[in-house]
Structure 1
Amino acid sequence: MTAKYPSARRRAPATAITLSLLLAFAAQPAAADEGAAAGNEAAAAADDTATQVEGGSYGGEIIVTARRRQETAQDVPIAISVVDGEQIDNTGAFNVGRLTQLAPTLQFYSSNPRNTAVNIRGIGAPFGLTNDGIEQGVGIYVDDVYYSRVASSTFDFLDVDQIEVLRGPQGTLYGKNTTAGAINITTNQPTFDFEGKAEVSIGNLDFKQAKAAISGPLSDTLAARVAISATSRRGTIYNVTTDRWIQSQDNIGIRGQLLWRPTENLDVTLSGDWNRQEAVCCGSVFVRTGATQRPINRQYAALAAAQGYAVPSTNPYDRLTDLDANLNAGNEIGGAALRVKWDIGPGTLTSITAWRYWDWQPENDRDFTGLPIVTKSQNPSQQDQYTQELRYNYTGDRFDFVLGGFYYYQRIDTQGTESHGPASSRWTLNPGSVADVPPGSTGCGPSASNQLACTPGVLDGLTAINTQYLKNTSAALFGQLSWKVTDQFSIQPGVRLNYDKKEGFYQRLVFAGDGSPVLFNPPAGTNAAINTARLGVFAPQEISPTFSDWNFSYDLTATYKATPDLLFYATYAKTFKSGGINQNGVPTDASNNPILAAGTVKPESVNHFEAGVKAEFWDRRATLNLTAFRTDIKNYQANVNNGQFGVLRGYLANAGKVRTQGIEFDASIRPSERFRAYANGAYTDAKYVKFVDAPCPPELSGGTTAGAGQTPGAPGIPGALSPANCDISGQRLPGVSKWAISFGAEANTESSLFGKDGQFYFGYDGSYRSNFSSNPSPSAYTWVDGYSLSNFRAGFRTEDGLDVFAWVRNAFDRNYLEQLSVGPGNTGLIVGLPGDPRTWGGTIKIAF
């Protein structure tokens, strides 16, 4: 189709896509004029940048670099979703989390920036508290630089041109091994033609956003580009204790790039970025309670009544909380990269040298209540990361290949402080015997252990000081060959040789409220009962786990191009995810010694099968792509969470086997320049095939552990015996909806406004996902109901780069939960994070 209103497309790839709402309705571009095309071609030449000719989710000819060379998305034998900057705007996708509306097989969960998981097809990272000692199964790349901290996915996109979501293993093409997929983000590059864009948005919830970018030549051989984005928004949950809105947004980001092109065959790009978040975050609201096997007088209702406590609302959609500990989510990420691309005749040599850092300053309320139980929970962390990638790309008549080498070093230092308050003794400590407690009592009986539970000073001021570091080194050689056996049939083998080494250190020191150390062998005169009670909450420990291993992986893809518009492909991949170490402590034996064997986790062994068809028809006005896949993982790395307050925050273990399989489709239709529509969907069946020693869900936790010859009680029966662990084989993996669909359309009509020729347009973007489990071990209390969301936009855009539009997200104000969490202590408390309510606003864009 002929490009129309090109400047809107150039500027619209709205760099930093910050607030879901505002961008929610950026105008859909039609294509680029000759000047814009020239600028884009210069950017592409600068660095293999993927350029969207016309499409995004709406389809059309899309140029990608998924296989490290430029080719149309319909010719790539990979399941891939491609979203350009403007399509991101249309859905309000201001970070990776919002991409789920356009890429249904992408899952994103975040209780705070550090505790964030990005999965594809249900796999990638274990669900729950983050453990630095393992790799992410989904790689995030920005301009070829690997971002190892998943916290980066919570930041605003900054001057984004295009995003490719690649599904399935990508280790033979990308520097860092990825077993579930990769998110390949390309930013707009410096141009030798002067151009710029600016954008301002306002909305309800005090939403404000400003974005700008400018690019142009500094000399005949030097070009520069600078982009900036700033976003603020009031929170969506009101804290009655502090009289503040929480879950706010306060983001700022800047990116600068210099392109030096001394000759036509050499590009050198130096880039740097800095991003900061200072939100009042992160909290939760009361959702429900569920009966556990803890004694009835030690469950939530009785404990709350004993302390005269009531939550501000039992309706989570009142969006009220009363968290009394400090909340903070200070988050800063930045770095610099040097990319050299040298066309040496028969091929292209590319070098990417990068340094990145991450500074995380959190404060949380880990008891999820307004009571002074856990009064401080903060684990600030600092990371430095260095990467070097060198690869050679060759394209010939019959053979194409990529050869590469990759080196990676990461250092993470963490300093943690966790303290309990005066309400902790009654809330945390179990009575010695239910028989000692009079009927109707809240747990304070005549026995010594009951008296401990009712003495605030036993746990008031109890503090754990955690110190840990991780040194993570990885090196790899990788390559992929594409052999055109005939003009229609190709085979594509790939290999990877990988070495990983991890060295860790974890130390926990525990102190009572008076500052005295809490030890397993305390000095004479120490009250043994009180010491034992304190050790049951925080136990001192020191370990230095290490792991190293070599791995070899490979894949093979066969492609058949039946017609110019019809492609079939099939892939088999044998790959792995590196083993890891436990950075948050390990369980102890009967003598209170750390079980060192639990300090490391085995590598995951992955067998992946995939087949697909990509088709265009109706004179390429319509596109339909279908994919079927199956991935089997042995020694799946699972997160094990302890139900008590502070024994262990969570540690890693290997499940026996996991399987995910399903069918995906991507469809679009463009009958004319006046109308476009798309629909993408996925059916995903992801389950634990074998996990016989998993942590138990809350309804099977909290009671005395059943011993040899004893039978655990039924779920949710107070005072019943609890199993030491549970067999969850056959149950669904957490966070995975069986059905996920996104769909949308845009219609426009040519007209004029205030004497300017242009288009009035109206667009809709919707999504639906079915229910999913929000706990590593599925629980009757933590299923999140399915929901659908609808976004609308309407505006006017002109050929000379003006775009004015109004938008509304979650237009029908649907109540839904993004995530549920189990409160600590096996009291039966379930809290959650409500999704955004209806939000609306307006945006003005200009481009030149």
Structure 2
Amino acid sequence: MIARFLLLASVASASFITPAAHAQDTTPQPVDPAAETQNPRGDVIVVTARRRQETAQQVPLAISVVRGDSIEATGNFNIVKLQQIAPTLQVYTTNPRNTSVNIRGLGVPFGLTSDGFEQGVGIYVDDVYNSRVAAATFDFLDVAQVEVLRGPQGTLYGKNTTAGAINITTNQPTFDFEGRAELTVGNLNLKQAKAAVSGPLSDTVAVRIAMASTSRRGTLYNVTSQRWINEQDNLGLRGQLLFKPSEDFSITLSGDYSRQNPECCGTTFVRVGRTQRPLNRQYDALAAAQNYVVPSRNPYDRLTDLDSNLNAGNKIGGVSAKIKWDVGPGTLTSVTAWRFWDWKPENDRDFTGLSIVSRSQNPSQQDQYSQEFRYNYESQHVDFVVGLFGFKQRVDTQGTEQQGSAAAQWSLAPSTDPANPANNPATLAGLTASNTQWLKADSAALFGQLSWKVTDALTIQPGLRLNYDKKSGFYQRVVTNAQGQAISCTTVAEPGTIKGTSQQCGVYQPQVSAPSDSAWNFTYDFNINYKIARDVLAYATYAKSFKTLGINQNGLPLNADNSVNYDASTVKPESVNHYEIGLKTQFLDRRATFNLTAFRTDIRNFQATVNGGQFGTVRGYLANAGKVRSQGIEADFKIVASDRFTAYANGAYTDAKYKKFVDAPCPPELSGGTFQAANATPDYSQPGVPGALSPRQCDISGADLPGVSKWAFSYGAEINQPVTLLAKEGQVYLGVDGNYRSHWNSNASPSIYTNVKGYALTNFRAGFRGEGFDVFGWVRNALDVDYIETLQVAPGNTGLIAGQPGDPQTWGGTIKFSF
């Protein structure tokens, strides 16, 4: 398998990443990042992936490095867009909370997000861990570079992550006065402004202040509200104060605040697929019975008719203090941080213009505290990093979901009998589920990694981690009828409630759970790397890693007898075995770089998000898949042919599958009918046959993991020519970049209805730059390709598939000044 991967990679070349091309010496030694990055198109890339400064080609792991100027030039202004130039990164979002950031198909369960599990891809900003993936949807703010580390990261980083880490480094305060400003305007009423200024307050104190603001008209037109939705409305601020009384000691105080307040995030009709529900209870029949016609059945008409309020109010911020102190032969680093996240959403969860679910929102508030201590030591023969990490988190959520006037006719079995409950809107209208929940998560870890330089060429790197996690939570759902009376779904009504009807209890059931668990984990990794020649480094890595236990925080599923399944309240930790080999090379006088990586990751008890298809019994919950495997090949190529021309090509082949998942939720084509007998062998022979019996669960062993394209490529090139224009000396340049992703599936249990076709996007830019300025025009998705970013299965097993089309062709211009 690996041999075939290597052969494919040699034909395809791939995985971007501004690697080093002109370094004069690749032996490990302290690197001055300021000196190395004066030329934004220079080729010595300084990284801190191993918690020390070194060139990317020295690091014996798969790492993608994207510089700030590359991010800006290609229009990738947040992590969601960054996947266009980092092929092994997959980011999918239906709103800031429901955002999946994965590497090699692994990281976070695809689908509805739960607060009760850990992220498999850690997001760090200036060494501070961000526990919520909502941070991924904000604009990059004064970013120097982004490092995407692939594979488990636990012996060098504060928070253990099983799939990788995204290490974001911002520009730091300087003792030389400098500043920059950037203004972008474009179609869809795009307006984006960025500015930063830095300089000394005294001989020992420097300050840096940065801001970014983005607004853009939405890409879907809502005929109900007569407004464009899925707009962008972002504001970010960051301030940093550096106190450096000597070369051996510094303190950096940082504070940041970002907010989003768009009318977002809505969907449009994409398609209808047949389920096993009776035909008169599937989408087309239900819509006809209510004289409902969707504005368009072509998603690329970009029309929707959602009737519920939409909002994606999102605030993230915090403060941190980073202390660096040269103590003895090494450096002691302390990073203390507090961060908050406030989330105020409003959604249309039925994905239609009918009042089925009239209200759906789960606002939440998070506080997190983290403390990390690291000691870095470097010598001629031995380097090591040892660290302590502590983390404390609290998340409070207040959820509301309410049934509307069309719910009864849509959700209940229809009948010509006027007395049938389905014909009476009052049967379900006003039925409300109010959820109160909180989560407390505590984590502590001791970690370290040793680097023993056995010879000038051979280095051995073992690493260890001891981790303790404790999670406790509380979830309560109170169900009230239209009159505000609390209902019970037990045989005898509980005190203070009335007995709910069978129709009401079939939609919402009161529920209380208080899951709690803790776990110790001991993990390790071992890397051996050998410098075959001055510019050729080979390495091999084995990592035994884990993702800690999870608890279900969005409610629990029901048993066959309609009772709550409390056994599902906790989720086992993932157990990870990771293998990787790689080759890093430079040639043509270090003007060309080619890096190659092959990997295999096996995970037992993979934490997956599942959803039974009901409206309100449970939105989605975590469960363990028996075994998952992700394996593949990645290759990086870049060439600096001359000062006039540079090019890169990136790509990856990823084969990510459920190796064993025998009790998964069934896809929509095998759902919606009367359940097969509890002791019967599941019958999968009648997908999409109305009225057929539905399996209680499905064996999806061998199926692809959701959200993963087997093939992903990106490329870019730029050519320039020195000219004098308007008495200014500079360069006229033309750049192109693009990416391709093969098809992938957008449902936790792959469905024939949620297959997303592959697509290729192409972008162009052209401009004039000189000392301290850059003016250019750009076109993104220049060929106006129609593509889908994500698909969602509407609840109720009616067969409705909704989705979010990707951005159409956009164009505009950017002016940048620096001094």
TM-score by length of 1: 0.91
Q: Which residue in the other structure is 2:469 paired with?
A: 500
CA distance in 2, matches of 1:50, 1:821: 48
Q: Which residue in the other structure is 1:666 paired with?
A: 636
Residue 791 of structure 1 aligns to a residue whose secondary structure is strand
Q: Deviations over 1:257-287 (max 9, x none)?
A: 0000011100100000000000110000000
- Counterpart of 1:389 (choices 362, 365, 372) is 372
- Counterpart of 2:409 (choices 404, 426, 435) is 426
Mapping of 1:380-779 within 5 angstroms?
Answer: 380-429=363-412, 431=413, 443-446=414-417, 451-521=420-490, 523=493, 531-589=501-559, 592-707=562-677, 708-709=679-680, 712=683, 714-779=686-751
Mapping of 1:135-154 within 5 angstroms?
Answer: 135-154=118-137
- Using the TM superposition, give the Cα deviation of residue 818 of structure 1 relative to its aligned residue in structure 2, in angstroms: 0.4
Distance 1:530-1:306 versus aligned 2 partners, 3 A rule: farther
CA distance in 1, matches of 2:774, 2:285: 58
Q: Which residue in the other structure is 1:437 paired with?
A: none
Residue 288 of structure 1 aligns to a residue whose secondary structure is strand
Mapping of 1:160-171 within 5 angstroms?
Answer: 160-171=143-154
Mapping of 1:353-372 within 5 angstroms?
Answer: 353-372=336-355
- Counterpart of 2:191 (choices 178, 198, 208) is 208
- Using the TM superposition, give the Cα deviation of residue 528 of structure 1 relative to its aligned residue in structure 2, in angstroms: 11
- Using the TM superposition, give the Cα deviation of residue 60 of structure 1 relative to its aligned residue in structure 2, in angstroms: 2.4
CA distance in 2, matches of 1:402, 1:175: 12
Residue 460 of structure 1 aligns to a residue whose secondary structure is coil
Q: Which residue in the other structure is 1:824 paired with?
A: 795
- Using the TM superposition, give the Cα deviation of residue 52 of structure 1 relative to its aligned residue in structure 2, in angstroms: 4.4
Is this contact kept in 2: 1:51–1:161, CA < 8 A?
no
- Counterpart of 1:118 (choices 92, 98, 101) is 101
Q: Which residue in the other structure is 2:7 paired with?
A: none
Segments of structure 1 that go 5 or more residues without pairing to the other structure are 1-27, 33-41, 432-442
Distance 1:193-1:710 versus aligned 2 partners, 3 A rule: closer
Is this contact kept in 2: 1:472–1:502, CA < 8 A?
yes
Q: Which residue in the other structure is 1:15 paired with?
A: none
Distance 1:628-1:781 versus aligned 2 partners, 3 A rule: same
CA distance in 1, matches of 2:680, 2:166: 51
Cα root mean square deviation, aligned: 2.1
- Opposite residue 331 of structure 2, the aligned amino acid is T
Q: Which residue in the other structure is 1:16 paired with?
A: none
Distance 1:396-1:462 versus aligned 2 partners, 3 A rule: same
CA distance in 2, matches of 1:661, 1:30: 26
- Opposite residue 653 of structure 2, the aligned amino acid is Y
Q: Which residue in the other structure is 1:193 paired with?
A: 176
CA distance in 2, matches of 1:286, 1:368: 8
Is this contact kept in 1: 2:20–2:45, CA < 8 A?
no
Is this contact kept in 1: 2:493–2:499, CA < 8 A?
no
Segments of structure 2 that go 5 or more residues without pairing to the other structure are 1-17, 23-29
CA distance in 1, matches of 2:675, 2:583: 53
TM-score by length of 2: 0.94
- Using the TM superposition, give the Cα deviation of residue 91 of structure 1 relative to its aligned residue in structure 2, in angstroms: 1.6
- Using the TM superposition, give the Cα deviation of residue 31 of structure 1 relative to its aligned residue in structure 2, in angstroms: 13
- Opposite residue 152 of structure 1, the aligned amino acid is A
CA distance in 1, matches of 2:40, 2:662: 47
Q: Deviations over 1:52-88 (max 9, x none)?
A: 46678xx822111100111110010010000000110
Residue 488 of structure 2 aligns to a residue whose secondary structure is coil
- Using the TM superposition, give the Cα deviation of residue 446 of structure 1 relative to its aligned residue in structure 2, in angstroms: 3.6
CA distance in 2, matches of 1:820, 1:305: 23
- Using the TM superposition, give the Cα deviation of residue 254 of structure 1 relative to its aligned residue in structure 2, in angstroms: 0.4
Q: Which residue in the other structure is 2:770 paired with?
A: 798
CA distance in 2, matches of 1:264, 1:527: 69
Is this contact kept in 1: 2:342–2:366, CA < 8 A?
yes
CA distance in 2, matches of 1:52, 1:627: 26
Which shows bigger deviation, 83-92 or 658-667?
A: 83-92
Is this contact kept in 2: 1:805–1:843, CA < 8 A?
yes
Distance 1:30-1:577 versus aligned 2 partners, 3 A rule: closer
- Using the TM superposition, give the Cα deviation of residue 589 of structure 1 relative to its aligned residue in structure 2, in angstroms: 3.7
- Using the TM superposition, give the Cα deviation of residue 815 of structure 1 relative to its aligned residue in structure 2, in angstroms: 0.2
Distance 1:526-1:554 versus aligned 2 partners, 3 A rule: closer
Is this contact kept in 1: 2:183–2:194, CA < 8 A?
yes
Mapping of 1:257-336 within 5 angstroms?
Answer: 257-336=240-319
* 2:139 equivalent to 1:156: yes
CA distance in 2, matches of 1:660, 1:169: 13
CA distance in 2, matches of 1:525, 1:342: 62
Q: Which residue in the other structure is 1:838 paired with?
A: 809
CA distance in 2, matches of 1:319, 1:817: 11
Is this contact kept in 2: 1:703–1:719, CA < 8 A?
yes
- Using the TM superposition, give the Cα deviation of residue 123 of structure 1 relative to its aligned residue in structure 2, in angstroms: 0.3
Residue 843 of structure 1 aligns to a residue whose secondary structure is strand
CA distance in 2, matches of 1:487, 1:710: 62
Mapping of 1:48-197 within 5 angstroms?
Answer: 52=37, 60-197=43-180
Q: Deviations over 1:730-752 (max 9, x none)?
A: 00000000000010000000001
Q: Deviations over 1:712-768 (max 9, x none)?
A: 460000011000000000000000000000100000000011011000000001000
Residue 68 of structure 1 aligns to a residue whose secondary structure is coil
Is this contact kept in 2: 1:50–1:65, CA < 8 A?
no
CA distance in 1, matches of 2:444, 2:174: 34
Residue 586 of structure 2 aligns to a residue whose secondary structure is strand
CA distance in 1, matches of 2:112, 2:682: 31
Is this contact kept in 1: 2:486–2:498, CA < 8 A?
no
Is this contact kept in 2: 1:50–1:64, CA < 8 A?
no
Distance 1:452-1:575 versus aligned 2 partners, 3 A rule: same
- Using the TM superposition, give the Cα deviation of residue 395 of structure 1 relative to its aligned residue in structure 2, in angstroms: 0.3
CA distance in 1, matches of 2:753, 2:450: 49
Q: Which residue in the other structure is 1:815 paired with?
A: 786
- Opposite residue 837 of structure 1, the aligned amino acid is P
Distance 1:55-1:680 versus aligned 2 partners, 3 A rule: farther
Distance 1:273-1:525 versus aligned 2 partners, 3 A rule: closer
Distance 1:709-1:562 versus aligned 2 partners, 3 A rule: closer
Is this contact kept in 1: 2:114–2:553, CA < 8 A?
yes
Q: Deviations over 1:390-432 (max 9, x none)?
A: 0000000000000000000000000000001110001012x2x
Residue 129 of structure 2 aligns to a residue whose secondary structure is strand
CA distance in 1, matches of 2:793, 2:716: 35
Is this contact kept in 2: 1:54–1:61, CA < 8 A?
no
Residue 826 of structure 1 aligns to a residue whose secondary structure is coil
Distance 1:61-1:525 versus aligned 2 partners, 3 A rule: closer
